Amino acid sequence: MKIVLAPAPFKGTMTSKEVISALKSCLICFDKKAKLVSFPLADGGDGTLESYKTIEKHHFKIIRIETTGPFLNEKIKAQYLLTDRKTAIIESCQFFGLVKAGKRANPFLTTTYGLGEAIKDALNTGIRNFKIGLGGSSTNDLGSGMLQALGMRFLDKEQKSFIPTGGTLDQITSIDTTDFDSRIKESKFSILTDVTNPLLGTNGATYVFAKQKGACLEELPLLEKKTRHFNDLITKVIKKDISSKIGSGACGGLGACFLAFTPCELISGANDIISSNAFQKAVKGADFIITGEGHIDSQTLNGKAPYRLIQFAFSKKIPVLAIGGQIDADVMQELSNKGNISFLSLTTGSPLPIEELKKKAKDNLTAAFSDYLCHKRLY
C-alpha cells in the first residue's frame, strides 16, 4: 500500500512538513507495512519554497537577505532559492505574508517593497529567470511597493516621490517610469498564483481578501476606491486596463502589477508543482493520497493546492482523504459529487484564536487522525 502525504500548510499553525510528520507517526502505528511518500504541497503562497526544494532536490542554494516588510521602516530576514538552471524562486509571503504581519495585519499599512528588493538582489547576480509565488499576503498595495524598490516613482500632488501602501494609493497623482529597472524587460517571470480572482469588484482583491488581512467590513469600499484610483493611473501608463484579467487580484493586486509592468505569464502555482517530474514520480502507483489545509472553503475551489491535487487524484481514480482545520459543508458536498473523497475536520463550531490553535495544532491533528484510523476504514 503506497500512501502519498501531500498537505499544504495549515496557515498560521503548522507547516506542510509538520503536518506530514504528525500524519506519519499515526500511519506507522496503523500499518507498519505501508509505503509512505511525502511531498509538501503549495500553490504560490506559504510553503512554496519547501515544495520547490523537494522538486529541485540538491540542485539549488538558499539566498538569505535582509529586506523591508511587511511594514515600511521595518527590516526582516528572508530567503529565496537559486536553482542550478539560474532561476530565482521567490515566495512573496516571505516578505509580507499574513503570518509575518501577525496581529498587526492591516492592508492599509503593509507593503510589497521587500519583494522588489529580493528581485533586485537576484538581478544583481545576473539572474533573468524568475518564478514568483503569489499568495498568503498581508498587502493590498497592488505591488506599488515592489515597483518603487525597482526604480519606479510615485508622485503626490506636490510632485514628491513616496512609497505607497494600500491606504495611500489615492495620494498618487502620477507614475514616473523613467528609472524603472531596465533589466526587468530582459527577464522572464512565471507568476505562480493561488487564485483566479480579478483585481476589482465583489470578486476582486479587496472584497474577497482584504477582510482576512485585517480590514473591517466598513473599510472595504474605501480600500476598493483607492485600488480603483491606482488602477486608473496604471491604465493611463500602459494604455490598457488589465483589472479584469484572471489572477490580477492575486496577492492584493500584485498579479495586476506583474501583468502591467513585467514580461510575465500567470500560471497556477499548484499545477506547476503537481506537473513537475518530482511530484509525478512521488504519486506514481499511489493507492491513496492525503492532503489538506487550514480551512477548506470556497477559496479552496478557486485554485488552492488541495483542490488542484484532488482534481488530479480524481482523474487518476486515486482515493483521497482531505483534512482541514475547518471544512465548509458546501465544499464537502461539491467535492463528494466529483470523486472518491473522504473528509476529516479537526474542529467544529467557532474557531479558536490563532495563537491557541497554534499551541494545540499538532496534538489536535494527531488525536483526530488516530481516532479516524481506529474507527473508519482508510483504505
Together in a domain, 136 and 232: yes
Together in a domain, 206 and 301: no
pLDDT tens for each residue of 348-364: 665 656 666 666 788 89
> What pLDDT, on the 0 to 100 scale, is given for residue 358?
67
Question: Would you say residue 277 lies in a domain?
Answer: no
Together in a domain, 15 and 73: no
* Mean pLDDT, range 306-318, rounded to an integer: 95
Angle formed by the axes of helices 354-375 and 16-30, to 10°? 30
pTM here? 0.93
- Domain boundary pick from 270, 305, 321: 270
Mean pLDDT of the chain: 94
Q: Which three cell numbers stand for residue 316?
A: 487518476
**pLDDT above 80 for 376:** no
Together in a domain, 18 and 58: no
* Residue 344 φ/ψ, nearest 5 degrees: -135, 110
CA–CA distance, 377 with 379 (Å, rounded to integer): 6
Question: In terms of residue numbers, what domain contains 262?
Answer: 48-270
Q: How many domains does the chain have?
A: 2
- Domain boundary pick from 201, 236, 270: 270
Together in a domain, 97 and 197: yes
pLDDT tens for each residue of 123-170: 999 999 999 999 999 999 999 999 999 999 999 999 999 999 999 999
Question: Would you say residue 278 lies in a domain?
Answer: no
Place of cell 481578501: 209
pLDDT tens for each residue of 237-292: 999 999 999 999 999 999 999 999 999 999 999 999 999 999 999 999 999 999 99
The partner residues of 148 in beta bridges, in order of sequence, read: none
> What pLDDT, on the 0 to 100 scale, is given for residue 299?
80
CA–CA distance, 304 with 302 (Å, rounded to integer): 6
CA–CA distance, 26 with 158 (Å, rounded to integer): 63
Please name which of 253, 248, 247 lies closest in space to residue 270, comparing C-alpha atoms. Answer: 247
Question: Would you say residue 43 lies in a domain?
Answer: no
User: Percent of the chain scored above 70 by pLDDT?
Assistant: 96
Higher-scoring residue by pLDDT: 346, 354: 346
How many CA within 13 A on the CB side of residue 70? 27
11 close to 293: Cβ distance less than 8 angstroms = yes
pLDDT tens for each residue of 36-65: 999 999 999 999 999 999 999 989 999 999
Report which DSSP code applies to 5.
E
Together in a domain, 31 and 79: no
The domain spanning residue 20 has which CATH number? 3.40.50.10350
